[in-house]
Amino acid sequence: MYKKITHTITEEHFGHPVGAEIKKHVDKMKSANMPSSSQFKQDILSWFTNFNNKAQIVIDSMTDSKLDTAAVEADLFDQIDALGNELKNYYGIEAGERLNSQMRNAAVTLLRLVFLVKNNLDIKDVVTNRFDGIVTGEIVRLLYDINNDWNFNAVRPMVESLWSPWVERAKAKKANNDTAAATAANAAKEAFTKFANTLADGVVKQHPEMFPQM
């Protein structure tokens, strides 16, 4: 004899009474080995400051015979990946590697700029197509992809302002114009400081849970 029996099962699930506390503990463990927000901001500022300082020395090597051109150029690339590697903690490997790639592109473009200025060659392509075009465009696009607070139109001129003082300083050094060279160096320092602070503040604002509470 065949009988079809249908069972109706009702399940009730109750949240763990200490679930919220467990989540807090896990989040705390995740951020335990991360820098504080203030330390993170200082690390980002230090990276950009060092990168710009090394770039200035590369430009100076164009006219300063005491500087070993090959050595200062190699030093520009030393630790260059540290910035992208730091941001991998917050945005993943792809974003970090994309940033590393573009900062390397900026460094390579600077070397090309110095070569052209030193040899009295046209720099229009380097400035327009490389610095203001490819390098700036890729960095701005990356930042907007990972954080909508970094508005494309607002960030683009900020990124462009990083490279223009390098161009002006190279031309000033070639012309032995110390005043113009000093002005360009100060402009570069201000631009890199502003960008570093904007970048760091954006990360902290977007990922407050990643920074240990002091």
Q: Where are the domains of the chain?
A: 59-66+105-210
With CA atoms as reference, report the closest residue to 108 among 131, 141, 139. Answer: 131
Mean pLDDT of all residues belonging to the chain: 87
pLDDT digits (tens, 9 = 90+) for 102-140: 999 999 999 999 999 999 999 999 999 999 999 999 999
Query: What's phi and psi for 211, nearest 5 deg?
Result: -110, 125
User: Out of 13-22, 131-140, 195-204, which region has the weakest mean confidence (pLDDT)?
Assistant: 13-22
Taking the C-alpha atoms of residue 107 and residue 105, their distance in angstroms, rounded to an integer, is 5
Confidence of residue 51 (pLDDT cuts 50, 70, 90): very high
Percentage of residues in the chain with pLDDT exceeding 70?
Answer: 84
Entry pTM = 0.82
Do 170 and 56 touch, CB atoms closer than 8 A?
no
Taking the C-alpha atoms of residue 19 and residue 37, their distance in angstroms, rounded to an integer, is 27
Burial pattern 181-191, b for ≥16 Cβ within 10 A else e, equals beebbebbbeb
Higher pLDDT, 18 or 13: 13
pLDDT of residue 1: 53
Residue 192 clears pLDDT 70, i.e. is over it: yes
Confidence of residue 8 (pLDDT cuts 50, 70, 90): low
pLDDT of residue 11: 52
pLDDT of residue 41: 96
Segment 155-170 shows an average pLDDT of 96
